[in-house]
Amino acid sequence: MARKTAILISGRGSNMAALLDAAKAPGYPAEIVLVASNRPGAAGLGIAAGHGISTRAIDHTAYETREDFETALTAELEKAGAELVCLAGFMRLLTDGFVKHWRDKLINIHPSLLPAFKGMDTHARALAAGVKITGCSVHFVREEMDSGPIIAQAAVPVLAGDDEAALAARVLDAEHALYPMALALVASGRARVVGEKVMVEENSPPDYRPLISPPSAG
């Protein structure tokens, strides 16, 4: 049985769209039952509706406290029967209470190779630091921002001449490939939290090839 999964967004929803597309494949282990946004104007809500998915706008500015907003959010998630919740560009800090309630069921994608570059402006900071490889991470959410057991990561090179937009686009491409794979690992039960690390059952021995950047260094 596919695990019922909700997606929380705040904006354009390109990762959400990648998850919706992946979930259409026969045998995909997650079924997307709801897309909710804290911003009523989020472009992703229209995209989700176009896919025939139930959507909700839960405007955080209409609530006095974070807790009140999250109580409304959890009520919608539970009404939809969500067993897993994917944050996909959801730009609202969550309280410890919400994170505890959804422990090991709440997943986030972040545009860096965690634990490097937590927080905002990851690509500008990667460029400023001069790293030659960056990427994205999918992880279970814990109380501290952008922390928690890492489910999967994808690496991309930083190329000479990259500006923030070029690097963001390269990482975003990797995000769209990574998130559906990571959700499938969790939803199928092949990725499990053991001692605050994620153990992944591999079907076959992985074929590792190093990503060397710049390639002429290899």
- Return the active site residues: 110
Shortest distance, position 191 Cβ to ligand GAR, whole Å: 19
- If residue 162 lies in a helix (H) or strand (E), which one and from where to where? none
Of 83 and 146, CB closest to ligand GAR: 146
Shortest distance, position 175 Cβ to ligand GAR, whole Å: 5
Amino acid letter for position 25: A
Rounded to whole angstroms, how far apart are CA atoms 175 and 23?
16
Whether the bond between 214 and the residue before it is cis, its omega within 30 degrees of 0, is: yes
Of 3 and 123, CB closest to ligand GAR: 123
Of 3 and 39, CB closest to ligand GAR: 39
Shortest distance, position 4 Cβ to ligand GAR, whole Å: 21
If you ran DSSP here, which 8-state letter would residue 158 be given? P
Pairing status of strand 84-87 against strand 106-110:
parallel
Residue nearest to ligand GAR (CB): 89
Query: Which residue is listed with tokens 């998915």?
Result: 53
Shortest distance, position 7 Cβ to ligand GAR, whole Å: 10
Crossing angle of helices 164-187 and 14-23, rounded to 10°: 30
Instruction: Give the interface with ligand GAR as residue ranges (CB under 6 A).
Output: 9, 11-15, 88-89, 109-111, 146, 172, 175
Of 11 and 97, CB closest to ligand GAR: 11
